[in-house]
Structures are given as structure tokens and as C-alpha cells.
């Protein structure tokens, strides 16, 4: 099946929101071996949308639509697709009941325009919306399968995973499937990694090797095509081994692994805890670690000592240290890491101090950063000189923090 | 000019990255009155890309391409467009020199594949890349203007703003321009707001009124078309006044205003400071406030007291309070807010305690949240019952924190 993802909504064409739905659907289709050849975005305009659908029919056999199923007048996806495929819209009693209940449960009055959401294209399979009101639907006509999904990601994503993936898997009779594995690297640039692996990338066709820089990390996606899953896994294993042998100090995980997930897992395994003292990162480290449910078993909390005053009040950094070395210093980082560890009785303390920019501080350039790490036996620090915007510097600083902590724990410390 | 934005890159179709370039370009084109009717994404495949270009030529007169200008074999945007428009590729000496310098400056060896980046489509205007290597370019042929830009957002965005916007403005002879204004609301749902404004939305055509829910807020984009900027502003002012008169308690700002930006501005104006004590939000409040350069003038820092243990150690929350009311309580929120204020000698203290989920805590449902606010004269709290995922609950909690603080300061407290 060759798929095209068609998002409908003028808010996308006005740049008010980003088309994250297309990314999500693409990623999930790749995982089940469906090729995506095009993404298209059209606005809330029936004529232009109709011509997009006509064009898509000539080049793709699976059309996945997001958006335009809502209650308002500019929601016209169903109406337009029904017209192109010359199909009727019919009321779906179950969906209407569901919508009515939704209003009752959230204790709100149902306005009449909401009834439009219970209209479906005749002969469709209906996908219930467990996180909103507009149901999704799918039908096949003229050899082309159309899937219509709501626009809000919080409704579309769970519907896709629960209903659309099984629907597509049951439809697809394909023998050769694609199996992907993502290798994750930190601390190395994309072009350096690609040059390092030049030979492999040129020689390899199955699996394919696709490096990609994203969010201060580099990933390599290996994709093997095979009718047998085990054989595909073998192909992936072989190529992975070759890659990792050349890049082992930067390689840290797979697929959904993140630097923070890896840290949480190894701390859980060691039954150890961590606390943080943050200056330039202003709480970003603790925010990222507590994004993950269950972080409370390993993360005690910490101090955000954004001002020098708070470095003294909360972490008792001596005035003499601040005077002699400054807050942006190896000495201050180490003090902060050790102090937060002992104050909170954690096994590890980590600290971040530096200049996020754009302005200099203590005569030090933006991007000057010190990360301190402390455990019972030692307290060390890592100086960094980072480039980029304020946000990039803060984000990379935190990633380096996770990376250094992971390395320390890996070494058994 | 009717524009189409065409992104090239298999990483987009595999869902490895999101097409944030299309959003950025759309937003900037809307601001200078260029209509965007389509976004398209094609992979690194010459045939499919060529057919996308052919199709775009039939429906749009400005084609903006992103991606595929790099040094590797799968970068084929220039080659494909040149073929479709039957134009040659030529070496651009200045760009080549620039690329060579780039390697010298970053102290790296230039690999030969990088020379390909200095190829441009004949008769193009070249846009220098001040943040990377591949130059951008523009040419007009058969009445169609093509603009080619690099894919990495850190290179594309500055190039777009510095070179492409002036280029387009000089090309466009249009008299009627679009003027937009975004009104921002918090604490009200999109459908309620729309119902509230039903009459206005139906009657109004210039400016148009487009509500949109995004990131736990609702925005309304007003767009007026007029040949005279002042007249357009008058149209916008009139409609804004009508809208705000009906929704004043939720309206908080314009365009680039954010809840946090508004708080920082009013604290700066009052020369007041704030400190935070965060439990369920785990540092998110302090992260968001320190995202903004200059936050250090008003934000002292705070405590991330994720564990009950730290609530006691760092904020001296009495065991009896925790036993009697629990950490997720009005009492704990108020204690935390007051304590962080006095400990840090700030003018305002704000606290967040609650259940982020997915699991219950202290027998309280996920989404049970208390926000405490303290100043010299009083300490109060706000109970919330929020729905959604863990991240949604954390994000909305922090937004409510900014919202309540803004309201308090507005009232002169």
C-alpha cells in the first residue's frame, strides 16, 4: 500500500500550528511497513480540497485524512470526500449517542452544531473517538481506501493506535515487510558520523542506513525488508554491530530510548536516587526527568538557584567562592552538586551552572557551562563550550548532564 | 501570489522529523500577505519529486522548497527542479569560497562531496547561508517563481527572514495587503468561545475571525484586507473591541504575548520578584520562566520538592500537615508558597502540588491540583480539577499558575 497523508485546515496553511499529525502517522505506518510517498495540506476550502483528493487518487491507494470533522461550518472534509467518491452522508446513531453522553459527562450544554459530528460517509467502518467527539471512519471504493481522522492530536493519536493500525494490518496481505530499528547517539555530529560510516552506508542496501540529526542528537534508522521477521532482525543485528563497533562511545540506545529514560532505568536498577541543583538550566533537568511517570522513585527533587543570592541561601555556596571563581565555574558546579546531594540525602547530585546567553555573564561567553556530578566517593565536573541560541544551550546542557551521568553509572560509579 | 510550500526529505515521510519549516514559512508569508494554498512533502526520489513540481506549477505561482540542498547523494532538489524547468546547474564561486571558509573556521577537514553544495540553478539570485553551508536561491521562469532553501531550520529561518522576505516584498506589486492580529485567551474552551462570538463570526468578513485551540489556550486570529495599513488597523481595532467586551475575563494578550511573558513584564514594571516551589510540575514553571532572557531580574529561583521528604527538608512542611491533609492539599500548597517566598526573600511565592498521573496519589485522582500564591499581605490557593495526560496536566497547571499570578497583579495585589 502506498499512502498519502492529507491534512485539512487553514490553520496549518497560516502557520498557526505544525502538522505533527503527519509525523505521527508516518512513523506508525513505517513501523507496519506501509510506504508514505506524500504529505499534503489543504485549507478549509471545498474546491481546492476536492482537487487534492482527485490528484491523490491518481497516485496513492491509501489516503489518510486528518482534520475537518468538527462541528463548525469550516469543517468540510467528510462532505468533500463524499462528493468526490459520489457517496452519501448518513447519521450514525451510536456516534450521536456518544456525543450526547460526552456533553453530559463534562457537564456542558450540547449546542446543535455538534450533531453534524455524527454524520458518516455511507458504508464506512466507524472508529469511536474515546478522547473527543468526532468519530473517525474508513471506506474502500474504486480500489482506494480512505481513512478520516479527527484533527486534534490528543484524539487522533489514540484512535490511530487502537483502531487504525489493526484495521490496516488486517487489510494488508503483503509478504515483504519493513522492519526498522533506530540507533541513538549523543556527542557526535551528523556529518562526522556519516563520514565515519561512509563505507557501510554506500555498500548497504538491506538494511538501509539513514543518519539524521535531531534535537542535539544523531539517530541512525536501519530498515530491513524481509518476509520473515527473524531474518530481518538478523540483518539489523549484523549492521548494528558493524556500526556500533566504530562509534561505541557515542551510542547510547534504541528507538524510544532517551538519555533521560536510560538514566532513570539505570538508577532504578541500582535502587539509587538523584537530586539536582540548577542555575542556567532553570529547572529544565528536573522538568525533563519528571516528565516520565515513576520518576519519583529515583528523583528526589532539587533547587533552582537562578540568582547568586539563592545559591548562597539554599545551597550555602560561600561568598568567597563566588568572589574568587564566580558562579560560572568548576568550583561552583562541584559545590552545588555535592551540596544538593548531601542536603537531600541522595546517592547522586548533579549541578548545572553557566551562561545561557544571549548576554555575557561574569565576562564569560554565552555557552560557557560547567556540569558537576557528585556521589559518595567523589565530586567531579565537566566544562563545556556550547554554541547556539539560549534555548539550544540550555537543552544541550541538560542532555550532556544525562549523558555524563549515564557514563558514570555505566562505569560502575 | 499563491504559494505552495514543498518540503523534500524522506525523513519527513518516515516521521522522523516534523515539518516545522512549513509552519514557519506559512506564518511569515501570512504576515506579508502571500496566500499559502498547499503544503506538500515528497521524499528523496527524483521521479516523485518531479511530478510534485509539475503539479505545483499548474496550481501555484510561487513554489518554496525546503531541504535536499546538502552534500549527500540523496540531496536532489536542485537537480530535479533544474530538470523540470530545463535549466542548467552552474558552480557559484562565492558560495564555494564560503563553504571552504566554513570548514576552516570550524577547524574541520572539507570532504569533496561538499562542493556539490556550491552548485546553483543558472540565473538564480543566491541567498548566502550564514548559519551553514548550502546557499539558497530564487529564479522566475514561465511566470513561476521558485525559491530553494536549506532544510535545517537553524539555517532556513534566518535566511528566510533576512533574504527571502525582502525579495518577495520587492517582487509583489499587490495593493491590498493582509494585516493580522492574534488575540490570546486562557481558561475558556474553543467551542464555548465560538458560541459566545457566534454572531460576530457569522456577520464579519473583513476582518475574518478565526478561533483556534492550541496548547491549552485559545487564540483568535483577525485578518483584515486593505490597501491602507491604518484603515486595516482600524478594522482590527473595532472587531477586537467587540470580541473583548464579551470575553474580557479570559483575554490576556496579543500575538507573541504569552502568559509567562505577561507575568515577567508586569513584575519588571513593579520591580518585584518571584520564587517557586514545585511538586507535580517538577521544575516546569521555573523552566518556562527562565526560557526568557532577562528573567533573572524577576525570578530568584526555587525548590523542586518532588518527594515528600524534600518538602520537609527544603521547605520545612510539618509532618503533621502532611499527615492530616496530605501533600496534595490546599494547606500544603499555601505552606509551600509562603515558605518559598520568605526563604528567598521574594515579593511573591508560587507553589504547585497535585497529582500529575497516570496513577492516583493519596487516594486523589490524577488532575487534582492546588496552586498556592503568597505575597506579604496574604497567602491564597486555587484548587483545580484537570483532565488529560500527565504532560497536559503539568502544562495546564503551570499555565494556570501564570494566569492566576497575572490576575492577582492586575488587581493591584
Shortest CA gap A159–chain B (Å): 15
Spatial separation of the C-alpha atoms in residues A392 and A384, rounded to whole Å? 13
A157 in reach of chain B (CB within 8 A): no
Q: Which domain holds residue B305?
A: 259-410
Read off the pLDDT of each residue in A220-234 and give the average, rounded to a whole number: 90
Mean of all residue pLDDT scores within chain B = 92
CATH of the domain at B375: 3.90.950.20
- Identify whether residues B78 and B105 lie together within a single domain: yes
Whether B38 sits inside 8 A of A13 (CB atoms) is: yes
- Identify whether residues A346 and A213 lie together within a single domain: no
B388, pLDDT greater than 90: no
B59 contacts in chain A (CB < 8 Å) = 51
Whether A13 sits inside 8 A of B37 (CB atoms) is: yes
Shortest CA gap A237–chain B (Å): 21
Spatial separation of the C-alpha atoms in residues B98 and B131, rounded to whole Å? 11
Q: Among B233, B254, B275, where does a domain finish? A: B254
Whether B358 sits inside 8 A of A314 (CB atoms) is: no
Spatial separation of the C-alpha atoms in residues B160 and B163, rounded to whole Å? 6
B30 in reach of chain A (CB within 8 A): yes
Whether B291 sits inside 8 A of A391 (CB atoms) is: yes
Whether A19 sits inside 8 A of B15 (CB atoms) is: no
Q: Under 8 Å CB-to-CB from A340, ≥6 apart: which residues?
A: A275, A276, A277, A302, A303, A315, A346, A349, A350, A351, A374
What pLDDT, in 10s, does the model give residues A306-336? 999 999 999 999 999 999 999 999 999 999 9
- Identify whether residues A118 and A164 lie together within a single domain: yes
Domain count, chain B: 3
- Identify whether residues A181 and A97 lie together within a single domain: no
A174, pLDDT greater than 70: no
Q: Tell how many helices (H) and how many strands (E) occur in chain B.
A: 16, 17
- Identify whether residues A233 and A266 lie together within a single domain: no
A314 contacts in chain B (CB < 8 Å) = 301, 303, 314, 343-344
The partner residues of A63 in beta bridges, in order of sequence, read A4, A146
- Hey, how many other C-beta atoms are within 10 angstroms of the C-beta on A203? 9
What pLDDT, in 10s, does the model give residues B172-229? 766 677 788 999 999 887 778 888 898 898 888 899 888 877 768 888 989 898 888 9
A44, pLDDT greater than 70: yes
A107 or B326, which is more confident: B326
CATH of the domain at B91: 3.40.980.10
B113 in reach of chain A (CB within 8 A): no
Which DSSP letter does residue A216 get? T
What pLDDT, in 10s, does the model give residues B2-36? 999 999 999 999 998 999 999 999 999 987 889 99
Chain B residue closest to A295 (CA)?
A: B306
Whether A15 sits inside 8 A of B38 (CB atoms) is: no
Spatial separation of the C-alpha atoms in residues B125 and B143, rounded to whole Å? 16
Q: Which three cell numbers stand for residue A317?
A: 555556596
Spatial separation of the C-alpha atoms in residues B140 and B125, rounded to whole Å? 10
B325 in reach of chain A (CB within 8 A): no
Spatial separation of the C-alpha atoms in residues B178 and B397, rounded to whole Å? 36
Spatial separation of the C-alpha atoms in residues A103 and B256, rounded to whole Å? 33
A40 → closest Cβ in B39, B286, B359:
B39
Q: Among B231, B254, B277, where does a domain finish? A: B254
- pLDDT above 90 as % of chain B: 70
Which DSSP letter does residue B32 get? T
Q: Look at residue B340 in the predicted model and tell me its pLDDT.
A: 97
The partner residues of A39 in beta bridges, in order of sequence, read A5, B41
CATH of the domain at A243: 3.30.70.2860
Mean of all residue pLDDT scores within chain A = 92
Q: Under 8 Å CB-to-CB from A283, ≥6 apart: which residues?
A: A304, B278, B282, B283, B284, B285, B286, B287, B290, B302, B304
Whether B37 sits inside 8 A of A43 (CB atoms) is: yes
Which DSSP letter does residue A206 get? S
B303 → closest Cβ in A17, A40, A303:
A303
Chain B residue closest to A202 (CA)?
A: B73
A40 → closest Cβ in B24, B38, B295:
B38
- Identify whether residues B392 and B295 lie together within a single domain: yes
- Identify whether residues B26 and B107 lie together within a single domain: yes
Read off the pLDDT of each residue in B119-148 and give the average, rounded to a whole number: 94
φ/ψ (deg, to 5) at A156:
-70, -45
B344 → closest Cβ in A48, A293, A313:
A313
Q: Among A148, A171, A194, where does a domain finish? A: A171
Spatial separation of the C-alpha atoms in residues A300 and A275, rounded to whole Å? 5
Cα–Cα nearest to B68, from B4, B151, B146? B151
- Identify whether residues B115 and B230 lie together within a single domain: no
- Identify whether residues A215 and A119 lie together within a single domain: no
Chain B residue closest to A299 (CA)?
A: B306
B210 in reach of chain A (CB within 8 A): yes
- Identify whether residues A187 and A89 lie together within a single domain: no
Shortest CA gap B31–chain A (Å): 9
- Hey, how many other C-beta atoms are within 10 angstroms of the C-beta on B269? 10
- Identify whether residues B73 and B133 lie together within a single domain: yes
B213 in reach of chain A (CB within 8 A): yes
Task: Tell me which residue has cell 460517509.
Answer: A121
B37 in reach of chain A (CB within 8 A): yes
- Identify whether residues B165 and B18 lie together within a single domain: yes
| Lowest-confidence pick of B117-126, B177-186, B270-279 | B177-186
A310 in reach of chain B (CB within 8 A): yes
The confidence band for B112, taking pLDDT boundaries of 50, 70 and 90, is: confident
Amino acid at each position: 500500500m502506498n499512502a498519502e497523508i492529507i491534512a485539512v485546515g487553514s490553520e496549518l496553511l497560516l502557520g498557526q500550528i505544525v502538522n505533527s499529525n503527519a509525523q505521527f502517522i508516518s512513523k506508525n505506518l513505517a513501523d507496519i511497513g506501509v510506504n508514505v510517498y506524500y504529505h499534503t495540506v489543504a485549507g478549509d476550502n471545498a474546491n481546492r480540497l476536492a482537487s487534492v483528493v482527485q490528484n491523490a487518487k491518481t497516485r496513492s491507494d491509501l489516503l489518510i485524512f486528518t482534520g475537518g470533522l468538527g462541528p463548525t461550518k469550516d469543517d468540510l472534509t467528510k462532505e468533500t470526500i463524499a462528493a468526490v467518491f459520489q457517496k452519501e452522508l448518513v447519521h450514525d446513531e451510536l456516534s450521536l449517542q456518544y456525543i450526547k453522553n460526552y456533553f453530559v459527562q463534562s457537564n456542558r450544554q450540547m449546542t446543535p452544531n455538534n450533531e453534524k459530528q455524527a454524520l458518516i460517509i455511507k458504508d464506512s467502518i466507524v472508529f469511536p473517538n474515546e478522547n473527543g467527539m468526532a468519530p473517525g471512519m474508513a471506506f474502500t471504493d474504486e480500489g482506494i481506501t480512505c481513512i478520516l481522522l479527527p484533527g486534534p492530536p490528543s484524539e487522533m493519536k489514540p484512535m490511530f493506535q487502537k483502531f487504525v493500525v489493526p484495521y490496516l494490518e488486517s487489510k494488508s496481505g503483503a509478504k515483504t515487510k519493513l522492519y526498522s530499528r533506530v540507533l541513538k547517539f549523543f556527542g557526535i555530529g551528523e556529518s562526522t558520523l556519516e563520514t565515519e560510516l561512509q563505507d557501510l552506508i554506500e555498500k548497504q542496501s538491506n538494511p538501509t542506513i539513514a543518519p539524521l540529526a535531531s534535537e542535539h542528537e544523531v539517530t541512525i534508522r536501519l530498515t530491513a525488508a524481509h518476509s520473515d521477521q527473524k531474518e530481518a532482525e538478523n540483518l539489523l543485528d549484523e549492521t548494528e554491530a558493524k556500526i556500533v563497533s566504530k562509534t561505541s562511545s557515542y551510542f547510547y540506545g534504541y528507538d524510544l530510548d532517551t538519555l533521560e529514560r536510560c538514566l532513570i532505568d539505570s538508577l532504578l536498577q541500582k535502587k539509587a536516587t538523584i537530586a539536582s541543583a540548577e542555575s542556567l538550566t532553570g529547572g529544565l533537568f528536573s522538568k525533563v526527568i519528571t516528565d516520565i511517570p515513576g520518576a519519583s522513585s529515583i528523583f528526589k527533587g532539587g533547587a533552582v538557584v537562578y540568582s547568586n543570592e539563592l545559591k548562597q541561601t539554599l545551597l550555602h555556596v560561600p561568598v568567597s567562592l563566588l568572589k574568587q571563581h564566580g558562579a560560572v565555574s568548576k568550583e561552583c558546579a562541584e559545590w552545588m552538586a555535592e551540596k544538593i546531594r548531601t542536603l537531600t540525602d541522595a546517592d547522586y547530585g548533579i549541578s548545572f551552572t553557566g551562561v545561557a546567553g544571549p548576554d555575557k555573564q561574569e565576562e564569560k561567553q554565552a555557552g560557557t557551562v560547567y556540569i558537576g556530578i557528585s556521589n559518595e566517593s567523589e565530586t567531579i565536573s565537566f566544562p563545556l563550550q556550547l554554541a547556539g541560541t539560549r534555548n539550544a544551550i540550555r537543552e544541550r546542557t541538560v542532555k550532556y548532564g544525562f549523558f555524563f551521568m549515564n557514563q558514570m553509572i555505566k562505569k560502575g560509579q
